[in-house]
């Protein structure tokens, strides 16, 4: 996925992004970090091919492009809100993207089960979204994104509503998926620690207008396991990210 | 556990007993007023006289009831079909909406029953005229509610469907129509009530007699003949029809929405 000097101005005049260039290669885990309102969600939506750009280019070289100019079935998105369909059960919600690809319910069943057990919700397949807690809804949303086995997974603060333990578990789960499937992940977060733990590369953004402040690789060649959270290199990464974020926020007033 | 069951049974009993009690009390009050005030039956008959008329005039009232029922349900069915097709077309293409919007507004704000005399002139038969009137009245609430519903789709949901490459039909079928269902049900409830009103008012203005006439004409006829017990009996049959329509549309709404929509959920916290 390549963005070349993309700008986006909304119809009300808000310049959400100016001159943003970013290339995400296969197998990368990129975290997008930045102050609220700096255009992280907007950037992510553009990467997914949702909503046009005001100027610049976006391309998905590794994907088949459909007639509508969008990559075909290789991108999944976990939105900031769960965006489940309230009239469908959990399993039917996870089935939705497969259904839209024309896969029969029967053929999809194993994938639905697999996706649901990945987020520890196998027992809730027949529940309706209203019967779930906020965190569980978010996990269904993640399961739905995984069901299509995407090459690029875009996540917009997916774990913001979760408790620390579940969050940790899902962080490890996402890492596991990332390592085993070789998929690329772009992950928006507010948490320095989360980004330092997960990423292979961190992009710090600046607000007003939204632009890239710094873009650097982290944790290269380091195994993320239980020890990693207490290791010196993790601490150094956190520090590095915090500094960069501080600089990005501090520069706002000028 | 058992306690909960018992209180639920009690709850159900209360829900049935109170409305029934209220109706019985009203009938008693009615009876007492008539007899204490000595009101003659050609002004206000007591409930027993009305019940008598209901039984005695059944051979005339029952066919009339069937005629009114048929007109109401046929017009409602047609309005349902027409309203749905039209609403879906309107939201599919913006230019269609621009063309039809003024027409829809004019027709909606004009009390349709006021053009009943015109329709009576143009329609081939009285029955057809009544049907057209009731149809027009039921059509707009169904149309406008459904259009509103189809446009109320969550933008995040639209993004989701776009992301997964849904085509127009899939978006309509799997997203827009389910989103619009609660709105559609509201339209159906309103339309159901209105189609009965329109069928009655149109028949009042038609005022035709004969074998094919409905309850409204029987009411007019009873009034001319000062047969007030029969008038009341016909009125009761009309309210029964109205209640049946209301119950039917409410049940349908419950059936389709109770598992997921807020309006039909029991609050548990
Ligand atoms: N549909 C829209 N119309 C107009 N302006 C918008 C729209 N969506 C977002 N914006 C503006 O664009 C800017 C970037 O918004 P965006 O949602 O991308 O921020 P964000 O970085 O994701 O913030 P947060 O961390 O709070 O989620 C904001 O200033 C916002 O006001
Ligand atoms: Mg955001």
pLDDT digits (tens, 9 = 90+) for A27-77: 889 999 988 888 888 888 888 888 778 877 777 776 666 666 666 668 899
Q: Which two tokens stand for residue B64?
A: 């009339």
CB contact under 8 A, A79 and B165: no
Question: What is the share, in percent, of chain A residues with pLDDT greater than 70?
Answer: 91
Q: Are A65 and A71 in contact (CB under 8 A)?
A: yes
Question: What is the share, in percent, of chain B residues with pLDDT greater than 70?
Answer: 94
B11 within domain boundaries: yes
In testing the pocket of ligand 1, which one of A37, A80, A203 has its CB within 8 Å of the most ligand atoms?
A37
B71 within domain boundaries: yes
Tell whether A95 lies on the interface with B, counting CB pairs under 8 A. Answer: no
Question: What is the share, in percent, of chain A residues with pLDDT greater than 90?
Answer: 25
Atom of ligand 1 nearest to the CA of A34: 21
pLDDT above 80: residue B168: yes
Question: What is the nearest CA distance from A159 to chain B, expressed in angstroms?
Answer: 18
Q: Are residues B7 and B137 part of one domain?
A: no
pLDDT of residue B183: 94
Burial of residue A242, with CB atoms counted within 10 A of its CB: 0-12 exposed, 13-18 middle, 19 or more buried = middle
> Testing the interface with B: which of A44, A86, A105 to mutate, by most B Cβ within 10 A?
A86
What ipTM goes with this model?
0.86
Q: Are residues B154 and B228 part of one domain?
A: yes
In the 3-class helix/strand/coil scheme, how is chain A assigned residue by residue? CEEEEEEEECCCCCEEEEEEEEECCCCCEEEEECCCCCCHHHHHHHHCCCCCCCEEEEECCCCCECCCCCECCCEEEECCCCCCCCCCCHHHHHHHHHHHCCCCHHHHHHHHHHHHHHCCCHHHCCCCHHHCCHHHHHHHHHHHHHHCCCCEEEEECCCCCCCHHHHHHHHHHHHHHHHHHCCEEEEEECCHHHHHHHCCEEEEEECCCCEEEEEEECCCCCCCCCCHHHCHHHHHHHHHHHHHHHHHHHHHHC
Q: Are B194 and B206 in contact (CB under 8 A)?
A: no
Q: How far apart, in Å, are the Cα atoms of A149 and each of A96, A183, A232, B104, B158?
A: 13, 9, 34, 47, 21
Nearest CA in chain B to A78: B160
Q: What's the total number of domains in chain B?
A: 2
Q: Are residues B119 and B148 part of one domain?
A: yes
Beta bridge partners of residue B96, listed in sequence order: none
B269 within domain boundaries: no
C-beta atoms surrounding B266 within 10 Å:
5
pLDDT digits (tens, 9 = 90+) for B90-139: 888 888 888 887 887 887 788 877 888 888 888 888 888 889 989 988 99
Q: Residues of B with CB below 8 A from A153's CB?
A: none
Tell me the CA–centroid distance for residue A37 and ligand 2, in Å: 7
C-beta atoms surrounding B174 within 10 Å:
20
Q: In what order do the strands lie in the sheet with A152-156?
A: A75-78, A152-156, A184-189, A29-33, A201-206, A211-217
The residue nearest atom 24 of ligand 1, judged by CA position, is A36
Tell me the CA–centroid distance for residue A144 and ligand 2, in Å: 20
pLDDT digits (tens, 9 = 90+) for A146-187: 898 888 899 998 888 778 887 888 888 888 888 887 788 999
Which of B91-100, B177-186, B203-212 bottoms out in mean pLDDT, i.e. has the lowest?
B203-212
Q: Are B104 and B140 in contact (CB under 8 A)?
A: yes
- Whichever domain contains B86, its CATH number is 1.10.3720.10
B139 within domain boundaries: yes
Atom of ligand 1 nearest to the CA of A35: 25
pLDDT of residue A74: 81
Please give the Cα distance from A206 to A36 (Å, whole number): 9
Q: Are residues B74 and B32 part of one domain?
A: no
Residue bearing the bigger pLDDT, B164 or A52? B164
B227 within domain boundaries: yes
- Give the mean pLDDT of B172-188: 94
Most confident stretch, A6-15, A191-200, B75-84: B75-84
CB contact under 8 A, B163 and A72: no
Q: Are residues B70 and B23 part of one domain?
A: no
Provide the b/e sequence for A100-136 (b: ≥16 CB within 10 Å): beeeeeeebeebbeebbebbebbebbeebbeebeebb
- Whether this prediction's pTM lies above 0.90 is answered by no
Domain containing residue B15: 1-38
Residue bearing the bigger pLDDT, B44 or B209? B44
Name the DSSP letter for residue B5.
H
> Testing the interface with B: which of A81, A82, A84, A87 to mutate, by most B Cβ within 10 A?
A87
DSSP strand pairing (A201-206 vs A211-217) = antiparallel
Work out the mean pLDDT of chain B and round it to a whole number: 88
Question: What is the nearest CA distance from A86 to chain B, expressed in angstroms?
Answer: 6
Tell whether B261 lies on the interface with A, counting CB pairs under 8 A. Answer: yes
Q: Which two tokens stand for residue B192?
A: 């159901």
Q: Are residues B134 and B107 part of one domain?
A: yes
Q: Are residues B258 and B222 part of one domain?
A: yes
Q: Are residues B53 and B1 part of one domain?
A: no
Atom of ligand 1 nearest to the CA of A43: 18
> Testing the interface with A: which of B164, B172, B174, B182 to mutate, by most A Cβ within 10 A?
B164
Q: Is B261 helix (H, G, I), strand (E, B) or coil?
A: coil
Tally of residues, chain A:
254
pLDDT of residue A19: 82
Q: Residues of A with CB below 8 A from B261's CB?
A: 86-87
Work out the mean pLDDT of chain A and round it to a whole number: 84
Residue bearing the bigger pLDDT, A52 or B66? B66
pLDDT digits (tens, 9 = 90+) for A199-214: 889 999 888 888 888 8
Residue bearing the bigger pLDDT, B106 or A224? B106
pLDDT above 50: residue A253: no
Q: Residues of B with CB below 8 A from A72's CB?
A: 165
B60 within domain boundaries: yes
Tell me the CA–centroid distance for residue B171 and ligand 1, in Å: 25
Q: Which two tokens stand for residue B11?
A: 């709850």
Q: Residues of B with CB below 8 A from A83's CB?
A: 154, 156-157, 159-160
Q: In what order do the strands lie in the sheet with A55-59?
A: A15-23, A2-9, A55-59
Q: Are A90 and A109 in contact (CB under 8 A)?
A: no
Tell whether B169 lies on the interface with A, counting CB pairs under 8 A. Answer: no
Q: Are residues B67 and B194 part of one domain?
A: yes
pLDDT digits (tens, 9 = 90+) for A74-113: 889 999 889 999 999 999 999 999 999 899 999 999 999 9
């Amino acid at each position: 996925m390549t963005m070349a000097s993309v700008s986006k101005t909304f119809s009300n005049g808000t310049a959400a992004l100016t001159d943003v260039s970013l290339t995400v290669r296969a197998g990368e885990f990129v975290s997008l970090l930045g102050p609220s309102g700096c255009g992280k969600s907007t950037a992510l939506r553009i990467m997914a091919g949702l909503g046009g750009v005001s100027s610049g280019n976006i391309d998905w070289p590794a994907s088949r492009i459909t007639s509508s100019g969008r990559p075909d079935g290789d991108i999944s998105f976990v939105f900031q809100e769960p965006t489940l369909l309230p009239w469908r059960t959990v399993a039917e919600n996870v089935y939705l993207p497969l259904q839209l690809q024309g896969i029969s319910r029967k053929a999809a069943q194993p994938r639905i089960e697999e996706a649901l057990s990945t987020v520890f919700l196998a027992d809730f397949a027949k529940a309706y979204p209203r019967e779930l807690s906020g965190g569980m809804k978010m996990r269904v949303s993640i399961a739905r994104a995984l069901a299509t086995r995407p090459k690029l997974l875009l996540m917009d603060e997916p774990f913001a509503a979760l408790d620390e333990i579940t969050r940790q578990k899902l962080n490890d789960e996402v890492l596991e998926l990332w390592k085993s499937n070789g998929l690329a992940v772009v992950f928006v977060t507010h948490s320095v620690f989360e980004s330092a733990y997960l990423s292979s590369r961190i992009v710090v953004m600046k607000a007003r207008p939204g632009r890239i402040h710094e873009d650097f690789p982290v944790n290269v060649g380091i195994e993320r396991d239980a020890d990693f959270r207490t290791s010196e290199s993790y601490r150094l990464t956190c520090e590095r990210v915090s500094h960069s974020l501080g600089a990005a926020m501090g520069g706002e007033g000028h | 556990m058992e306690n909960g069951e018992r209180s639920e049974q009690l709850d159900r009993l209360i829900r049935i007993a109170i409305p029934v009690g209220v109706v019985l009390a009203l009938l008693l009050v009615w009876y007492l007023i008539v007899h204490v005030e000595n009101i003659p039956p050609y002004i206000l008959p007591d409930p027993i006289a009305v019940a008598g008329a209901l039984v005695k005039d059944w051979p005339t009232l029952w066919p009339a009831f069937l005629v009114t029922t048929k007109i109401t349900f046929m017009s409602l069915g047609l309005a349902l079909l027409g309203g749905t097709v039209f609403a879906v077309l309107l939201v599919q293409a913006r230019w269609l909406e621009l063309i039809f919007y003024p027409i829809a507004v004019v027709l909606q704000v004009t009390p349709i029953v006021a053009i009943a005399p015109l329709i009576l002139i143009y329609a081939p038969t009285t029955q057809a005229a009544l049907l057209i009137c009731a149809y027009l009245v039921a059509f707009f609430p169904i149309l406008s509610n459904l259009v509103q519903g189809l446009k109320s789709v969550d933008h995040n949901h639209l993004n989701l469907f776009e992301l997964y490459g849904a085509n127009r039909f899939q978006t309509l079928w799997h997203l827009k129509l389910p989103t619009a269902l609660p709105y559609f049900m509201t339209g159906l409830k309103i339309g159901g009530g209105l189609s009965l009103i329109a069928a009655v008012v149109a028949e009042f203005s038609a005022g035709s007699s004969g074998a094919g006439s409905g309850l409204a004409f029987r009411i007019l006829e009873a009034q001319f003949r000062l047969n007030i017990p029969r008038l009341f009996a016909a009125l009761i049959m009309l309210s029964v029809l109205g209640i049946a329509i209301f119950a039917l549309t409410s049940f349908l709404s419950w059936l389709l929405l109770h598992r997921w929509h807020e309006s039909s959920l029991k609050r548990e916290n």
